[in-house]
Structure 1
Amino acid sequence: MPVSGYTYLCRLEALTEGLPRRFVTEGVPVALVLTEDQVFAIYDTCSHSAVSLSEGEVDGCTIECWLHASRFDLRSGKPLDPPATRPVPVYPVRIEDGKVYVELQGQG
Structure 2
Amino acid sequence: MYRVIGSSIELYNSPFILWITDLSSHDKFYVLPVSMAIFMYIQQKITPSTMDPTQAKIMAFLPVVFSLFMLQLPAGLTLYMVVSTLFGIIQQWLIMREPKTKAVTA
Would you call these one fold, judging by a TM-score over 0.5? no
TM-score bin (small chain): under 0.3
When Rg is computed on C-alpha atoms for both structures, the one with the higher figure is 2
User: Higher strand share goes to which structure?
Assistant: 1
- Higher helix content, 1 or 2: 2
Instruction: Give me the TM-score of the superposition, normalised by structure 1.
Output: 0.24
